[in-house]
Chains A and B, each alone.
Chain A
Amino acid sequence: MGKQTWKERIPAFASVLGLLVLIAAYYIVGAVRDANVAYGLKAIVNQSVVVALVATGAVFIYTLGSFDISLGAATGVSALLGAMAYNATGSLVIMFLVCVGVAVVLGFINSSLASVFNLPIFVTTVAMMSVLSAFMLILIGWNGAGDTVKVKARDVRPLDNIPFKVFILVSYIALCWFIFTLLPTGREAKFIGGSPVCARLSGINEKKLGIIASLISAVGIGLGAFLTIIYAPTLTKDTASSIGMDVIIAIVFGGMPVSGGPRSRILSAVVGAFSMGFMTQIMSMLNLGSGYGQMIKAAIFLLVVFIALGSQRGKLLTR
């Protein structure tokens, strides 16, 4: 095999290069606009850390070639139940356990339904998203305090700091990286995503792996829900509603193929989530307005994916 030229190497690093360019652009725009860059950085971490957590876990699901659109709704339900548990007990530990526990139960139901009844995972998660969004409305109604569920901000303020959030994120990434890279689970997941038939013929249990992937992802959802409460202790029906789509964007933006397989990487999710965070903050500093900001975001997203695809384009149209 010949040595790769720099042109051939670019696609592999397109997402990381994209992030570096965005960081540079953030500082340049910040300097030109005389914006409070440090404050903006804090906002970026606060916004990106939840998406990064959920997306890092979701890498396991996407690696299998599956797709989960209910991640945002699952985060919302876990956060709501966690907040209600805190209001009932006054214990942050119980709130944490409820957030993670609920997410794990939901992940298990989702994956078991798909495995036991041979359902297409995407449509199962579409149905799950509807059920969970509706369940959020019911939970808020049960709480009987208008259209929100609140945790007292002063109770969670001690945990609302960047080092704590980064610690949670780094710990979870380390755990996922260990499972994904050093344990057979990660290799088997890549195998299934790359070639499901060969993987099945090699004796890999696709259903079991699907459930494991959902459970690992659920831990990320639970952690994301916990940090959501800490950052924004007033929860509504829209809490975490955009996370499901943000996760897909983050994973793809981070350079991972949405079809999964051997090119999947744990760090894609983090790179993608923070790229989106920087991009949103740059748009905000430029005062472009929501509409133009979103148009530019979409164009950059497509451009980065286009570069990341590199020479993988075939003669036939991709499906």
Chain B
Amino acid sequence: MKKPSLFRNLLLSLLIPCAVLLVLEIIALAKGVRLFVNADSWKLFFRAVANVTLTTFALSINLDSGRFDFSLGSVSMLSATIAGTLSQQWQLGPWLTLAAAVCIAAGLGLIHGGVYVLTRIPPIIVSLGMALFYEGCAFAFTGGKGVSLVTRTDIIGFSQIGNYILVTAAAVALIVLLFDYTRFGANYRALVSGQKIAVETGIREVGNALGCYAVSGALMGVVGFIGMANTGSQQMALNFGSIGIMFTAFLPMFIGGWIGRYINRRIGIMLGAVSMALISLAYARFDTASSVQSIVSALLLVLFLIYLNNEFAILSRFRRKQEVKS
């Protein structure tokens, strides 16, 4: 069988982000606006790339193993809340605050994983309980007031394009390294594809699951810090008010899955996040109402899923038409 060329794979993996950019540029041209008009547009774009890439990694790490996680938003919120408070008390700089947020979030992820492996409650249910618990913790920790860092110009100054690129590149590199080039990653993939056989061959499932929760948490710590540095504050949420962030990760995850046929899946997820970031930028540049944004994003998700789940039928019909024509 002929091996697909690297060039062809590269082209196909860039197809979706390029197509999205092309369509959006055409719409922008028709509306008489430019997508990337100034430094703020670039900043918005790279911030969205960083947030969506990291959130999608955090979601997919556990979801690929059949562990649905509703607590991502609450981990992000609680870690940013604690790190922000520590930063205020000890006058920590932005990178130390980021490191604190990552460590705290990894710890929260580990606690979540610990509850899961100790109780053996289905992961989706544990995640519901942990989401409620962490939201409650954040609220109780600040008395519901949240954290304000508006006077901390050093923290707010973190919101720069260079930092977003650095954080995204570091996260992608670490995730690729961890999940594709280490024993932990090999065990993870074995557990994903055949849990029972993997465990019977001696792979330690509990340790791997705990590691996944810790890594997923750490990624959400970065997301929490980016959000807090951008707005200068961390707002509180109760009664599952924090779970919305998770829904932004679905479309890039599916796009990443499709691109993953041609290139490393983690890179595919990042390219999916780039596509989503372009769409987010377009919403901002076109002054799109939030209700319309929600509807368009949901429709895109459904349309992409319709294609993915009926790809064989759609492609066969298309090929048949081509054959009839020729």
Footprint of B on A, CB under 8 Å?
113, 117-120, 123-124, 126-131, 133-135, 137-138, 141, 242, 245, 248-249, 252, 257-259, 289-299, 301-302, 305-306, 309, 313-319
Known: A245-B128, A317-B120. 5 other contacts (CB 8 A): A118-B309, A126-B301, A252-B128, A309-B121, A319-B65
Decide yes or no: A117 and B310 within 8 Å by CB, A313-B120, A315-B199, A319-B65 being known contacts.
yes
Contact A298 B139 (CB under 8 A): no
Asked if residues B301 and A259 are in contact (CB atoms below 8 Å), the reply is: no
Stretch at the interface among B44-52, B111-119, B163-171: B111-119
Q: Collect the chain A residues with CB atoms within 8 Å of residue B263's CB.
A: none
Instruction: Say which residue of B117, B136, B243 sits within 8 Å of A291 (CB atoms).
Output: B136
Contact A119 B125 (CB under 8 A): no
In the complex, what residue of chain A is closest to B122 when comparing beta carbons?
A318
Whether the pair B295, A131 counts as a contact (CB closer than 8 A) is: yes
Contact residues in A for B132 (Cβ distance below 8 Å): 294-295, 297-298, 301
Q: Does B196 contact A (CB under 8 A)?
A: yes
Contact present for A294 and B125 (CB under 8 Å): no
Tell me which residues from 270 to 294 in chain B have a Cβ below 8 Å from any Cβ of chain A.
Answer: 289-294
Bound-state CA distance A252–B27 (Å) is: 46
Do A298 and B130 form a contact, CB below 8 Å, given A291-B137, A305-B121, A309-B121? yes
Q: What chain B residues lie within 8 Å of A128 (beta carbons)?
A: 298
Expressed in whole angstroms, the minimum distance between the Cβ of B287 and any Cβ of chain A is 16
Name which of B65, B128, B291 has the most chain A CB atoms within 10 A of its CB: B291
Given contacts A242-B239, A245-B240, A298-B132, contact A123 B250 (CB under 8 A): yes
| B250 touching A319, Cβ below 8 Å | no
Tell me if A318 and B123 are in contact (CB < 8 A). yes
B122–A292 CB distance below 8 A: no
A120, A135, A245, A257: the one contacting B239 at CB < 8 Å is: A245
- A249 proximity list for chain B (CB < 8 A): 128
Q: Please report the C-alpha to C-alpha distance between residue A309 and residue B240 in the assembled complex, in whole angstroms.
A: 24
Chain A residues within 8 Å of B129, by CB: 298-299, 301-302, 305
- Interchain Cβ contacts under 8 Å between A and B, 6 examples: A117-B309, A126-B247, A289-B144, A291-B143, A302-B129, A315-B199
Is the pair A133, B294 in contact by a Cβ cutoff of 8 Å? yes
**Residue interface bits B288-312, CB-to-A below 8 A is 1, else 0:** 0111111101110110011001100
Hey, which chain B residues are within 8 Å of A129, CB to CB?
Answer: 247
Q: Is A138 in contact with B291, judged by CB distance below 8 angstroms? A: yes
User: Cα distance A299–B143 when bound, in Å?
Assistant: 20
Q: Would A302 and B124 be within 8 Å (CB), given that A119-B309, A123-B305, A134-B295 are in contact?
A: no
**Given the interface contacts A130-B247, A137-B290, does A306 sit within 8 Å of B301 by beta carbon?**
no
A123–B249 CA distance with the chains assembled, in angstroms: 11
Residues in chain B within 8 A of chain A (CB atoms): 65-67, 115-117, 119-126, 128-130, 132-133, 135-141, 143-144, 195-196, 199, 205-206, 209, 238-240, 243, 247, 250, 289-295, 297-299, 301-302, 305-306, 309-310
Q: Contact between A317 and B305 (Cβ–Cβ < 8 Å)?
A: no
A293 to B135, CA, bound (A): 11
With A123-B305, A309-B120 already in contact, the answer to whether A134 and B292 are too (CB < 8 A) is yes
How far apart are the CA atoms of A192 and B86 in the complex, in Å? 51
Chain A residue numbers with a CB within 8 Å of B120 are 309, 313-314, 317-318
CB neighbours of A252 from chain B (8 A): 125, 128
Residue from B124, B133, B239, B310 within 8 A of A258 (CB atoms): B124
In the bound complex, residues from chain A placing their C-beta under 8 Å from that of B143 are 291
A interface SS class? helix
CB distance from A114 to the nearest CB of B (A): 10
A293 to B137, CA, bound (A): 10
Contacting pair B136 A123 (CB below 8 A): no
Tell me whether B294 and A113 are in contact (CB under 8 A): no
Select B238's contact among A131, A290, A306, A314, beta carbons within 8 Å.
A290
* Contact A245 to B119, CB < 8 A, known contacts A138-B291, A317-B209: no
Instruction: Give Cα A134 to B125, complex, Å.
Output: 27
- Considering residues A124, A131, A299, A314, which has the most beta carbons from chain B within 10 angstroms of its beta carbon? A131
A135 to B238, CA, bound (A): 23
A292 contact set on B, CB distance < 8 A: 136, 140
Set of chain A residues within 8 Å of B306, measured between Cβ atoms: 117, 119
Which interface residue of A298, A309, A317, A319 has the most chain B CB atoms within 10 A?
Answer: A317
Taking a contact as CB atoms under 8 Å apart, the answer to whether A113 and B302 are in contact is yes
Nearest CB of chain B from residue A291's CB, rounded to whole Å: 3
Q: A290 contacts B139, CB within 8 Å?
A: yes
A257 to B125, CA, bound (A): 10
Contact A316 B309 (CB under 8 A): no
Chain B residues lying within 8 Å of A119, measured Cβ to Cβ, are 302, 305-306, 309
CB-CB nearest 6 A-B residue pairs: A291-B140, A291-B139, A294-B136, A319-B66, A295-B136, A298-B132
Residues in A whose Cβ lies below 8 Å from that of B135: 294
Beta-carbon nearest neighbor of A313 in chain B: B120
Closest to A312 in B: B120
Q: Which of B128, B238, B306 neighbours the largest number of chain A CB atoms within 10 Å of its CB?
A: B128
Name, among A131, A242, A294, A305, the residue most crowded by chain B CB atoms within 10 Å (CB to CB): A294
A134-B122 contact in complex given A118-B309, A119-B306, C-beta closer than 8 Å: no
Most chain A C-beta atoms within 10 Å of own C-beta, residue among B125, B250, B310 = B125
Instruction: Verify A299–B128 contact, CB threshold 8 A.
Output: no
A306 to B238, CA, bound (A): 23
Q: Are A124 and B140 in contact (CB under 8 A)?
A: no
Determine whether the beta carbon of B291 is less than 8 Å from that of A298.
Answer: no
Given contacts A242-B239, A295-B133, contact A306 B121 (CB under 8 A): yes
